[in-house]
Amino acid sequence: MTTIKAQMPGVFYRRPAPEKPAYVDDGDKISEGQTIALIEVMKTFNEVKAGESGTVAEFLVEDGDEVDVGQDIVRLGEV
C-alpha cells in the first residue's frame, strides 16, 4: 500500500476554504507535486503535496482531524 504521510503535526483539511470544493476526492488521479490537502499549524496553512502520481483510493483521516508527523493520510492506488 502506497500512502501519503503528514509532514508535520496539525489539523488536516481537504479543502482550501470551508465553502470551496475538496482539492481531490476518492477515485481522482493525482500527479506528483499536486496539492491534495492542507495542514494547519498555529494559524499557518501548509500545503500537502503528492510525492508521486497515482489514484486516490481513500482518505485515511477526516476533514478537521488532528494528524501527527508521519501519519498516513491518503492511500494511493495505481495510476
pTM: 0.89
Q: How many domains does the chain have?
A: 1
CATH, residue 36: 2.40.50.100
Strand partners, 30: 54
The parent domain of residue 47 ranges over: 2-77
Pair 34, 49: CB distance under 8 Å = yes
pLDDT digits (tens, 9 = 90+) for 24-46: 999 999 999 999 999 999 999 99
- The alpha carbons of the chain give a radius of gyration, in whole angstroms, of 11
C-alpha cell at 23: 482539492
Residue numbers of the chain with a pLDDT score lower than 70:
79
